[in-house]
Chains A and B, each alone.
Chain A
Amino acid sequence: MVRSVAERAYLPARNLLEEIGDMMILTGRTIVSALRPPYPYGGEFVSQFLFVLKLCWFPLLISTLAICYAAPGLQAANFLTLFGALDRLGGIFILAAVREIGPAVTAVVLAGVAGTAITADLGARKIREELDALQVLGVDPVKNLVVPRFLALMVATGLFNVYAILFGIFGGLAAELVNHQPLGPFWTTFFENADTTDLWGSVVKCTVYGAIIAIICCYKGMTASGGAEGVGRAVNQAVVLAFLAVFAFNYVFTQMLLATHPEILVIK
């Protein structure tokens, strides 16, 4: 009994570790081929970048506006009314929207919308043996397919983070207005707590999110097997893994940022 449970746990665990190792290797190869000439991926980069923008701008707008209005907006405002301290909502928005919710929502939307599209596209190509044909014709799939997606997703996630933060703040402003508060005190506490570290930390974090999502989604697509069903499975696994990896990385990053920049721990 114990033995069979151990055996049943052993194989999936080993496979997962192997996959993570393979993804690390893919990351290394992607970075090396991105840097080493020639650079044939310019066109594909631009088209992937525009594709991500087109796909994500609206879902991201709705998501950040809604979640920031509801979670730190209405709920926190409700709490702050207790102390008659609704002006503190601005400070909460630095903690919540800029540092955490903006990047998290950006990652969720990009993985769910753009990442899955990438996995499905590469997976279908893998199943149709297009990737094999490319390799035989002397085209390196890492350089020509993975690198442009990797770069496009990194840049797009980094930029979209700023966009998400802006709409998140609109959500907070809306919450203030709903509670019949002037906006001045919101901005005061907002900028009192704001630090340049918050902005660059948030952008750097999101850029790495983009890299993580791109590698996981490309890897899952390029290793899809077992027909159309296999592509579906790959897409499913890609989103799950991407979420896990992004949130795990978020924990590590946040801890590191707080440890190296203790001044942002002080709430004013």
Chain B
Amino acid sequence: MATVEQQFEWHSGKNRSAGVPDAIEFIDVYKSFGSNKVLQGLNMGLPEGMISMILGPSGTGKSVCIKHIVGLLYPDSGDVVVHGQSVPSLSDAELFEFRRQFGVLFQDGALFGSLNLYDNVAFPLRQHTEKGEEEIAEIVNRRLREVGLGDAGQKMPNELSGGMRKRAGFARALVLDPQIVLFDEPDSGLDPVRTALLCELIKEIHAENGGTYVVITHDIMSARRVAEYIAVLWRGRIVEAGLAQDLFDSENPFVKQFLSGESAGPLGME
């Protein structure tokens, strides 16, 4: 068993400021599930108006982070602050209001199994806006075409491949033009070309609508393509965070290993 110092040997926690205020802040967040300590004093800021990426080995708690941001999980201690609001202290009614500013793509797409693709993507519009069916149809069809599912609107989620479900979830997350967008591995399960196209799409939509984007990924190519800000997470803490270029030039052995995808370095299979 590694001592605490050894466990966090590479965690310089260095945070090169992006020069803009943070839209989302994790302040000393601890979270465990039973004896499984997932977040262990996480301090992380994600800058306003940028595309941030959270990178990290499988099982370090990236998806858990996203669930904390939207108030689906609560920290054992510490605070999560979004636009100055402390998420764990919101009441149920406030939380429903608060969540309207988000678009979330869950790791497995999380499409509603009883609705076809079209209705899935239309769901947030019907739930939160007074738009007529014609207007909804126009928006939904445009979003579906963007992700290459223009003809699949009538299909049910269980008739689709994992990658197609992912893209449909992507379309659903963006349909309300949300202020904060959280993508959990939008690129996993996609072929390389589609991954590249999806990255382009993320950049385009961000340029068009603005807003704060948080993207979780394992794919270093995607990170190089779209990230403006990167936070590297391991063992429930930030190893290093900063503007993308700074991190790609980082001297930290863990960051270097992870961003170049080498097998030799501090990270093993464990």
- Which A residues lie at the B interface, using CB under 8 A? 124-125, 128-130, 132-140
Q: In the assembly, what is the distance between CA of A124 and CA of B114, in Å?
A: 12
Q: Are B127 and A137 in contact (CB under 8 A)?
A: yes
Residues B69-126 near A (CB distance < 8 A) = 70, 72, 96, 99-100, 102, 104, 106-113, 123-124
Q: A136-B70, A138-B99, A138-B100 are in contact. Are A128 and B110 (CB under 8 A)?
A: yes
Could you list some 21 contacts between A and B, CB below 8 A?
A128-B108, A128-B109, A128-B111, A129-B106, A129-B108, A129-B110, A130-B113, A133-B106, A133-B111, A133-B112, A134-B112, A135-B72, A136-B72, A136-B99, A136-B104, A137-B99, A137-B123, A137-B124, A138-B99, A138-B127, A140-B96
* Count: A-B pairs, CB below 8 Å: 44
Q: Are A130 and B127 in contact (CB under 8 A)?
A: no
Residues of chain B within 8 A of A129, CB atoms compared: 106-108, 110
Residues B139-179 near A (CB distance < 8 A) = none
Q: Are B127 and A139 in contact (CB under 8 A)?
A: yes
Q: Are A125 and B113 in contact (CB under 8 A)?
A: yes
Q: Are B67 and A132 in contact (CB under 8 A)?
A: yes
Residues of chain A within 8 A of B104, CB atoms compared: 133, 136
Residues of chain A within 8 A of B127, CB atoms compared: 137-139
Residue of A124, A132, A137 touching B113 (CB-CB under 8 A)? A124
Q: Are B110 and A132 in contact (CB under 8 A)?
A: yes
**How many Å from the CB of A22 to the closest CB on chain B?**
15
Residues of chain B within 8 A of A125, CB atoms compared: 113
Q: Are B108 and A136 in contact (CB under 8 A)?
A: no
Nearest-neighbor residue (CB-CB) of B126 within chain A: A137
Nearest-neighbor residue (CB-CB) of B184 within chain A: A129
Nearest-neighbor residue (CB-CB) of A124 within chain B: B113
Nearest-neighbor residue (CB-CB) of A133 within chain B: B110
Q: In the assembly, what is the distance between CA of A128 and CA of B110, in Å?
A: 5
Residues of chain A within 8 A of B109, CB atoms compared: 128
Residue of B99, B113, B124 touching A135 (CB-CB under 8 A)? B99
14 additional A-B residue pairs with CB within 8 Å, beyond A130-B111, A133-B106: A128-B108, A128-B109, A128-B113, A129-B106, A129-B108, A129-B110, A130-B110, A132-B110, A133-B110, A135-B99, A136-B70, A137-B99, A138-B96, A139-B127
Residues of chain A within 8 A of B123, CB atoms compared: 137
